[in-house]
Amino acid sequence: MADLSAYPIVRRWPAQHPDRLQLYSLPTPNGVKVSIMLEETGLPYEPHTINIGQNETWTEEFLSLNPNGKIPAVIDPDGPGGKPFGLFESGAILLYLAEKTGKLLPADPARRYETIQWVFFQMAAVGPMFGQLGYFHKFAGREIEDKRPLERYRAESKRLLGVLETRLSGRDWIMGGEYTIADISLLGWVRNIVGFYGAGELVEYETLKNVPAWLERGLARPAVQRGLEIPKRP
């Protein structure tokens, strides 16, 4: 049985199955990337709900695993060299799990890096911009009288959706006929902007053709459906 005692986080969220990968998360657009990936690959794991509404990511135990205080984070009891290995940042976790399982990342070097570039596109552009749009449209930012920030993030989010619309022209998935971690990284964010954030009209989502069709294909996958609900919300 794996010994995870070197990780303080297990004191607050004990592992019932220490030989399984431990997932510390919440079903947010960033969190579901990892739960969907785990469901797609079939890798055994144990999810732990981290209540961000109660600031649990800022506890000493969580910060010991991710000093940046964000979900998701994981501990793999069978990491490199067969030793427990902790990791944070959703994009890094996607790459790690893809390489660990040999799934959802092309083996061909050129296609591999092409896939990774789209994961970085999500991490650097889509996530931050969509998230800010959500803040200024739905949350506390909507009370700010100056609407220039909202317009800034609306325009940029619309532009980014246009980038995806062009990329998906004639393609079922970001990488063509092959579903990859690039799709997994983006699905939750596109779903969120038209769903939870209710910003579809703002970004003129209804004028798009390829992105909605891609999102529908992604959401129809059984592993995606399961991953969107893991861990259970508090």
- Residues 139 and 190 reside in one and the same domain: yes
Does 80 share its domain with 123? no
pLDDT on residue 179: 98
Sheet holding 21-25, edge to edge: 45-49, 21-25, 73-76, 85-88
Residues 178 and 80 in one domain: no
- Kindly state whether residues 17 and 80 are assigned to the same domain: yes
Closest residue by Cα to residue 160 from 202, 201, 126, 211: 126
- Residue 234 placed within a domain: no
Q: What percent of the chain has pLDDT over 70?
A: 100
- What is the pLDDT at residue 217? 98
Work out the pLDDT band at 1, boundaries 50, 70, 90. confident
Q: How many domains, the chain?
A: 2
Q: Report pLDDT digits (tens) over 87-105.
A: 999 999 999 999 999 999 9
Q: Would you state the pLDDT for residue 126? A: 98
Per the structure block, which two tokens stand in for 91? 């994009």
55 and 78 assigned to the same domain: yes
Q: What is the DSSP letter of 173?
A: B
pLDDT (average), residues 207-224: 98
Looking at the structure, do residues 147 and 203 belong to the same domain, yes or no? yes
pTM for the full predicted model: 0.97
Domain holding 130: CATH number? Answer: 1.20.1050.10
Judge whether 137 lies within some domain: yes
What is the pLDDT, as a whole number, of residue 171? 98
Which of these three, 103, 121, 149, is where a domain ends?
103
Per-residue CA distances from 134 to 53, 80, 82, 110 (Å) = 16, 38, 41, 35
Averaged over 183-206, what is the pLDDT? 97
Residue 3 belongs to a domain = no
Same domain, 95 and 139: no
Whole-number pLDDT of residue 74: 98
Provide, rounded to the nearest whole percent, the portion of the chain with pLDDT above 90.
Answer: 98
Which token pair is 177?
């006929």
Q: What is the mean pLDDT of the chain?
A: 97
**Looking at 70, 103, 136, which one is the last position of a domain?**
103
CATH of the domain at 81: 3.40.30.10
Structure tokens at 45: 């794991």
| Same-domain check for residues 85 and 123 | no
Q: Which domain holds residue 99?
A: 9-103
Is-contact 26 233, C-beta < 8 A? yes
Do 46 and 71 form a contact (C-beta atoms < 8 A)?
no
Confirm whether 4 is domain-assigned: no
Please report whether residue 38 resides in a domain. Answer: yes
Q: Among residues 24, 18, 20, which one has the least CA distance to residue 45?
A: 20
As a whole number of angstroms, the distance between CA 166 and CA 210 comes to 8
Flag whether 35 is in a domain: yes
Average of per-residue pLDDT across 106-112 = 98
Residue at a domain's end among 55, 70, 103: 103
pLDDT in tens, 161-184: 999 999 999 999 999 999 999 999
Look at strands 85-88 and 21-25 and give their pairing: unpaired
Whether residue 2 lies inside any domain: the answer is no
Given this model, what pLDDT does residue 227 score? 98
Closest by CA position to 156, among listed 124, 133, 138: 133
pLDDT at 37: 98
